[in-house]
Amino acid sequence: MMGYCVYPVKMKPNNMMRKTNYIYLLLMTLALGACAQNNTKEQKHEKDFPMKKTEQEWKAVLTDEQYYILREKGTERAFTGKYWDNHEKGKYYCAACKQELFDSETKFESGSGWPSFYKPVKEQAVVVGKDTSFGMERDEIVCSNCGGHLGHVFPDGPKPTGLRYCMNSAALEFKKENK
C-alpha cells in the first residue's frame, strides 16, 4: 500500500508534527537560554565593601600613584613596579586597607612585567568583577575589604589553578617573612 502512514488512531499526522515542532522549539529555547547565562559576578559598588572612606580620606592616606590605581582603576606601566621582580619570601597586602591578599609561595614569573600570582591567600580576599574599559572585556580584581582596584585575572596561569592574577605593584605592600 503506497502512501500509507502508521499513526495512532486518535492522532492525525498534522497534530503529531505540530507537537514535535513545539517540543523541538521548547528544547532549543532552553538550550540557548542556558548558553546565554553569564557566569561573571556582578561588580560590587563602593558602598558594598566593609571599609568605607571618602575620596578625601583616601587621598590623605595614599600616594598619588596608589590613589590613581586603587581608586581610579589605573594601571602602572609594565616592568616599572617595585614588586614585579621581587623574589623574597613574604606576604602581599592591600596598600589601601592592609588586608592580606597574596603569599610569595604563589607568585610566579609570568613575563608580563607585573607581579603575578596563581591564587590569593583565600578566595574571599578578592572580588572578581567585569571590566569593559578600552574596548576589552576582562575580569577585574578588587580588594574585598575596601574595593581598591588591584589588577586583573587571566586564564593563562600555571597549575594548579590555571589562573594569572596580574597585580599592580602600587596596589600592594610587601612584608618580608621573618626568618
Active centre residues (catalytic): 166
Burial of residue 43, with CB atoms counted within 10 A of its CB: 0-12 exposed, 13-18 middle, 19 or more buried: middle
Give CA 63 to chain center in angstroms.
Answer: 26
DSSP 8-class letter at 32: H
What residue has cell string 596580574?
166
User: Smallest Cα–Cα separation from 138: which of 87, 75, 84?
Assistant: 75
Give CA 179 to chain center in angstroms.
Answer: 34
CB 144 within 8 A of CB 49: yes
Supply φ then ψ for residue 158, to 5 degrees. Answer: -80, 175
Which CA distances in Å does 147 have to 40, 82, 150?
17, 22, 9
